[in-house]
Structure 1
């Protein structure tokens, strides 16, 4: 799957985009992946130089003529190729009309006007090529999560390394410590904690243990217990696992994630769909109109062909969609540049338009609304006098473990141990799925969950201790009970805590009219509910796999535009199936960043309200620009038909282009109070 699937999926998507008439990845096949952008910039340089030598510098006439000709070659090279492909398929699009307009401008001696048309249009094509190449890399990043080989047990004493594509259901693979799993399966031997955040979004590693009857579990219908199932691409902890494969590589959870990303990648933005529909009628109409002007002048008015051709070229220059072509790219460039100044990466005009239209936002929990790592949130001693002993006991025992919960306890509680009262633990032993036992200063000590103490204490956990646990569980905490020499010292609560800026962000978004905000998370429902209630969200959906998140996003989209904010691989399918996907930057996985439409580059969710406001302004600017472009053409074409000469026509036509660009540049001065909108930020936990 990892070696074969990626090229196939990329090829399929490229063919899909060509069928839509949207393939502009020219550079990859001819001069390199950045060729079209280089050509576009080059045409801009030659055009600028041509204008300078024609109007500002006293130079021979052949110099600006040569520079404008170079602009035609550089700016029109890839546009000619695209126009040829679309015409070959029987379609006439703006690419084709731009070429005719440029040729017409040259025919009547207006090389500068034709040059700027080709420069601006080629720049728009180059931006689309860049966006498409970014999308293609998301599939490669997904595929690289799973190992390319697996260790298969062929005999009790023999393990063989094979390609993951050759794995069959029922094979037994060996998973070494701190390595990624190569297949979905059932644990049949060994114990370990597996980091499943890349697939399920679970913020805390899940303890795994062997199924009592793997063959029966494999045949049984319904989901496997969380403690027994594993997924390809997840990261094993410190133990060795043996896993019975339950699906081939092409059918794994990770493969389904890849397929969901692929199937949603080619969706177009609303404005792009409008432009596509418009140009299907506009371009042929302009071509027929120009031919009609020539025919009417020659046949009906008995004009010389040169006179009719001149009038037709004036009409063609007036009708050429220069302002229409640059209306969206100019606003996109300004909007993207302004967003970048505020630490927001937007991948083109589609996201900038779509984000401004959303009425619902779904947030992943781990790493988005929360920091993505556990912290000690509650220390509940059985009595006030036992607090110090509770803390010192926890630090003494958990300092010997590399489990994420133990690391959180050691990090957060070690500074609370008074100098001179530190204690030492020995004979520390892990009880899988339960907790840990040890001797602290020679005294028997146990730290674990309710299940562990129900097994250890025949009289049951004291009512006051159980009440502490129940209260912390209700608040979404993971709890650990501490007992030493038979005395219950108390309970500690651990949780992946919300970011300090999360609640103000929710309040600002609600004030902006975002009516429906929910949590969709791989964490359990209790934890998701706790976070949602604390932040003032409308609903929480916990225990979701990637495909479940896609279903939830589909439900939200039925109510209107819906955005997805996340940071993990498990969020990628939901992102691409949302109206706009938003990734947390610094903490986000490579897949989420490549798949998302918008990335908060500084790992700062406080920038989300600014991004929404900027998106709304960008969408408004795009609509204004399109209106201006169409109104100018609608007024200018009739004027040329009744005798407006080419000079004023070109002036008005180019003036509309400048007006559109100037309107778009207003986005560079966009302010919404401040980028952080007054939100104070909490230092990221180390």
Structure 2
């Protein structure tokens, strides 16, 4: 009785009418019940003829109930279906055929409607499975041959036709296109993709592939034909792992569900004892044993906790299905509930609140060179370096030059470890680097040092440029905050997140600069991974619950120690998918308010469902014990409450977050 398995929505697809069989049998049961009732009350037929439609009604209404009960009894379990059968047989023994048939009709109709409704939630999840393509066009010699995706091996070349589903996780090596990644990441706008520059690079993991060349199985190609190199076999693809995780998430029970299960463990034996005692009511009350038996059967129907058993799983299933559609993977009932109770969030900085790549923010000219002249020499020298900061200078420097007529000649370029770079540009010695680069060469004037200090206080990485022996300019770079960071944090504040802190390995000045720009409560800098964990534990003590938001790679220990670990951009990262309780599939911070708002709504619905289910039992049980309600009334309310609870949970499938429009 505690699991209410078939009530917990395993639809019966094995009948002659497929998944509608249960509903058709229930309706047939109702038709024969009505026939029997009309003959009983408005005809002169012998009772044996009236009994026939009642018996047929029993047969149709009790078919699945009996089947379920037999299966459960063979496993040594007594469930709700078994108790309903006892009540129906009891009614027949008392010659209350109409009431027994009504009980089985409404019970089977309630279950059929419940299964159809819950199948809607399951279909939302199964639609993920349908995304998985079955075949791929693999290159064999000079031709492309259609093969089953199970036969694809890492390194195979496959062609994706325009407007068709991508068959494997891979790297784009030929053709440019825009791909609709919504099935995996929930992003509503197609993402532009371009081929990798060097086809000979071997990627050991999916994360190493640049975002613009990374392609997921199950996403939909745009109007161009493209060729990709397979990076993962079909069973390891992001889509397949996503499907597995969503399916596992349905099984994981929430704290409320575990509490409900515990309650049912004590509740069910209590109900059975009460039913047995009610059979002896005739010893105290002036009535026959038949009346006492009937009263106990009505109480049995009233006390069966069908609605209670389905109230939480239906909400959890609908919540997980809706989240998956919005590009959020929630791994079970516990994170779904916890996410809804959060009041504090901790963020990693690099790549979570910031873009994760440095941008040139300031160019300060010092000796009368024009902007173009200065930048052309800087860009020319930095082009000879592979350093991430040099790449940022080249990229942003070119964008800041008004007229670019090719770059000057560079010779004798030399990187100076940890300090900068020097080389000859058009016969002129150019140095670019930090103050340490100039310690042994020349004295840096005080006012230039002051300018550098001001920029460093803003959390920027500063480089000083020297042409021959004259300081010509200052460059400042910074890992800039995401454009979405500030609006997202203000949305989170609106939905009741009181504390938002940043944990970073960067220095405190950088942390403070980013925090004040985007509106964080606190920022903690200079933290090693184990110090992040200590900080998380401390925050959890203060706030009782805290979530850690990061990219799931270096933040894994902090995530594991928080109440809820939230990983961003999880579609590209195996580690993030594994370690997080909640994974935002796209690398978009703005999905976070949607995930939290959805969890709050789910929690609200679970509470409503518990009130409805327990409320109906609390009203019906005394009503049947004191004889104010018969079996018919008890069944109507019992099944009615179950259907109301399921429909209430299904509202989550249509959830729209007013703040993020997801």
TM-score normalised over the length of structure 1: 0.63
The question of whether the paired residues in 1 share the 8 Å contact of 2:69 and 2:81 is answered with: no
Asked if 1:360 is matched to 2:360, the reply is no
The question of whether the paired residues in 1 share the 8 Å contact of 2:311 and 2:606 is answered with: yes
Structure 1 residue aligned with 2:574: 590
Mark the CA change 1:326 to 1:495 in structure 2 (over 3 Å): closer, same or farther. same
Mark the CA change 1:421 to 1:446 in structure 2 (over 3 Å): closer, same or farther. same
Matches within 5 A, 1:223-238: none
What is the SS of the residue equivalent to 1:283?
helix
Structure 1 residue aligned with 2:426: 441
Matches within 5 A, 1:84-95: none
Deviation at 1:482, TM superposition (A): 2.0
Instruction: Answer with 1 or 2: which has the greater Rg.
Output: 2
Say how many residue pairs are matched. 501
Asked if 1:51 is matched to 2:34, the reply is no
The question of whether the paired residues in 2 share the 8 Å contact of 1:600 and 1:608 is answered with: yes
- Provide the rounded CA distance (Å) in 1 between the counterparts of 2:58 and 2:414: 83
Partner residue of 1:370 out of 354, 357, 360: 354
Matches within 5 A, 1:258-337: 269-272=254-257, 274-294=259-279, 311-337=295-321
Gaps of 5+ in 2: 33-52, 91-99, 126-200, 209-250
The question of whether the paired residues in 2 share the 8 Å contact of 1:71 and 1:119 is answered with: no
- Provide the rounded CA distance (Å) in 2 between the counterparts of 1:179 and 1:599: 24
Structure 2 residue aligned with 1:465: 448
Mark the CA change 1:546 to 1:298 in structure 2 (over 3 Å): closer, same or farther. farther
Mark the CA change 1:342 to 1:75 in structure 2 (over 3 Å): closer, same or farther. farther
The question of whether the paired residues in 2 share the 8 Å contact of 1:449 and 1:481 is answered with: yes
Asked if 1:633 is matched to 2:617, the reply is yes
Partner residue of 2:546 out of 536, 553, 562: 562
Matches within 5 A, 1:28-39: none
Deviation at 1:386, TM superposition (A): 4.8
Deviation at 1:323, TM superposition (A): 0.9
Deviation at 1:631, TM superposition (A): 0.8
The question of whether the paired residues in 1 share the 8 Å contact of 2:330 and 2:581 is answered with: yes
The question of whether the paired residues in 1 share the 8 Å contact of 2:27 and 2:105 is answered with: no
The question of whether the paired residues in 2 share the 8 Å contact of 1:47 and 1:71 is answered with: no
Structure 2 residue aligned with 1:623: 607
- CA offsets, 1:636-662, max 9 Å, x none? 112222333322211100111122223
The question of whether the paired residues in 2 share the 8 Å contact of 1:105 and 1:113 is answered with: no
Deviation at 1:391, TM superposition (A): 1.5
Deviation at 1:622, TM superposition (A): 1.4
Mark the CA change 1:556 to 1:280 in structure 2 (over 3 Å): closer, same or farther. farther
Deviation at 1:481, TM superposition (A): 2.2
Structure 2 residue aligned with 1:673: 658
Partner residue of 2:398 out of 405, 408, 414: 414
- Provide the rounded CA distance (Å) in 1 between the counterparts of 2:372 and 2:70: 76
Deviation at 1:560, TM superposition (A): 3.4
Gaps of 5+ in 1: 1-21, 27-35, 88-95, 131-176, 182-194, 196-265, 678-686
Deviation at 1:494, TM superposition (A): 1.8
The question of whether the paired residues in 2 share the 8 Å contact of 1:121 and 1:325 is answered with: no
- CA offsets, 1:544-585, max 9 Å, x none? 333322322222222233222222223233334333332223
Deviation at 1:73, TM superposition (A): 5.7
The question of whether the paired residues in 2 share the 8 Å contact of 1:43 and 1:71 is answered with: no
Structure 1 residue aligned with 2:512: 529
- Provide the rounded CA distance (Å) in 2 between the counterparts of 1:52 and 1:118: 9
- CA offsets, 1:596-632, max 9 Å, x none? 3333333322232333333222222211111111110
RMSD: 4.4
The question of whether the paired residues in 1 share the 8 Å contact of 2:504 and 2:511 is answered with: yes
The question of whether the paired residues in 2 share the 8 Å contact of 1:342 and 1:675 is answered with: no
Deviation at 1:436, TM superposition (A): 2.1
Mark the CA change 1:295 to 1:671 in structure 2 (over 3 Å): closer, same or farther. same
- Provide the rounded CA distance (Å) in 2 between the counterparts of 1:497 and 1:504: 15
Mark the CA change 1:53 to 1:301 in structure 2 (over 3 Å): closer, same or farther. same
The question of whether the paired residues in 1 share the 8 Å contact of 2:552 and 2:579 is answered with: no
TM-score normalised over the length of structure 2: 0.65
- Provide the rounded CA distance (Å) in 2 between the counterparts of 1:377 and 1:587: 31
Matches within 5 A, 1:533-612: 533-558=516-541, 559-585=543-569, 589-612=573-596
